[in-house]
Amino acid sequence: MEKILHKERLDDWIAALSDREILSPALEDGVWAFRPAGAAVRLDYPNTTQPPKGLAFPQREVFFSFEQVKGEAPLLRQTLPQVAQRVVFGVRPCDGRAVPRMDKVFSDHVEDPYYWARRKQVAYVGLACQQPPSSNCFCQSVGGSPVSSDGLDVLLTDLGERYFAAAVSETGKALMMAGESLFEAATDADRAQLQGAHAAALARPQRAVRDPDALPSKLKASFDSPLWEELARACIGCGICTFLCPTCHCFDINDEVTGAAPLKGKRVRTWDTCQFPDFTMHTSGHNPRENSGARLRQRVSHKFQYFHENFAMHQCTGCGRCVTGCPVGIDIVSVVNKVAEHAG
């Protein structure tokens, strides 16, 4: 379904979706994040500082509560999320492409009921990039594009006073049908304008990963390279690169005990990261990734080798957030290029 939406009708479309929670980019304390939009959706943003991944995979969530009176069987109460239907406006194509990657992670071997309870309720309305929102964007190097609709339900393209709206899923069609009278049929002239806008977006220069198809084998060959330690020397293990990444998904599970008699508390999942020194620490004290080089190698190899071996696609979507956010300037594009060059 392809339609035209005049920009002054965007708020009316939002109103037509009022039985759902609407989110859009919002600037708070210098940080762009997806927040409840109220009546007005903001689409005048570069890209969000935080990706939308927390909507399906929150930073902290309770699995169940437990209570055990001494001598009796423990009482467990599962806490499956009860989430209203949500529509997220303004998702950039790199974050759209993160969605099927996260879906694979949380469906592989076993379906994660906590992830899916939220994920099934979220619809993504994307906004094509007219120009790279950051100087660190490299989506085209990793198989994406600034106008990709992969993982989205609707893709909006800004045509000046109007949006070209393309529904790319049944959910997306239903969203557009909810405001049916607000949309106009797209004409051949509109499609020609869309193609021109997309061609211009594709021609804008971006950073480049050289020969990304060769990376899985080159990374495999570089596992024992001393280069990793050199490239990671400045790393302070803050984890910002992974917490801002739309596809990083490592987590920890803890029991938070709130009472001893009876024993009670909650089992909680929280984000964790392979960049923390104790992420792989064994109870024996042995740590198989004891230096920052081994930890950088894990992050980069997971994105461009291990995920590729499992799912035949790079896990990185080229959003550039890990480059922009790293406080010491560790840059995944130059890291993979240097490792690949070294591997020959």
Can you give the chain as a three-state secondary structure string? CEEEEEHHHHHHHHHHCCCCEEEEEEEECCEEEEEECCCCCCCCCCCCCCCHHHHCCCCEEEEEEEEECCCCCCEEEECCCCCCCEEEEEECHHHHHHHHHHHHHCCCCCCCHHHHHHHCCEEEEEECCCCCCCCCCCHHHHCCCCCCCCCCCEEEEECCCEEEEEECCHHHHHHHHHCHHHCEECCHHHHHHHHHHHHHHHHCCCCCCCCHHHHHHHHHHCCCCCHHHHHCCCCCCCCHHHHCCCCCCCEEEEEEEEEECCEEEEEEEEECCCCCCCCCCCCCCCCCCCCHHHHHHHHHHHHHHHHHHHHCCCCCCCCCHHHHHCCCCCCHHHHHHHHHHHHC
Nearer to ligand SF4, 90 or 239 (CB): 239
238 sits near ligand SF4 (criterion: CB under 6 A): yes
145 sits near ligand SF4 (criterion: CB under 6 A): no
What's CA 264's distance to the chain center, in Å?
A: 34
Nearer to ligand SF4, 215 or 268 (CB): 215
Q: Which of 23, 235, 274, 336 binds ligand SF4 (CB under 6 A)?
A: 235
246 sits near ligand SF4 (criterion: CB under 6 A): yes
Nearer to ligand SF4, 88 or 326 (CB): 326
22 sits near ligand SF4 (criterion: CB under 6 A): no
Nearer to ligand SF4, 76 or 208 (CB): 208
Q: How far is the CB of 156 from ligand SF4 (least distance, A)?
A: 22
Q: Which of residues 256-275 bind ligand SF4 (CB under 6 A)?
A: 275
Nearer to ligand SF4, 155 or 332 (CB): 332
Tokens standing for 155? 């893709």
294 sits near ligand SF4 (criterion: CB under 6 A): no
Q: Which of residues 322-341 bind ligand SF4 (CB under 6 A)?
A: 322, 326-328, 330, 332
Nearer to ligand SF4, 113 or 327 (CB): 327
In order of 86, 143, 164, 228, the CA distances from 148 in angstroms are 21, 10, 14, 33
Q: How far is the CB of 49 from ligand SF4 (least distance, A)?
A: 11
Q: Which of 25, 146, 239, 293 binds ligand SF4 (CB under 6 A)?
A: 239
Q: How far is the CB of 135 from ligand SF4 (least distance, A)?
A: 13
318 sits near ligand SF4 (criterion: CB under 6 A): yes
Q: How far is the CB of 169 from ligand SF4 (least distance, A)?
A: 22
Q: Which of residues 94-123 bind ligand SF4 (CB under 6 A)?
A: none
Q: Which of 321, 336, 339, 340 binds ligand SF4 (CB under 6 A)?
A: 321
319 sits near ligand SF4 (criterion: CB under 6 A): yes
Applying CB under 6 A, the residues found at the interface with ligand SF4 are 235-241, 244-247, 275, 303, 316-322, 326-328, 330, 332
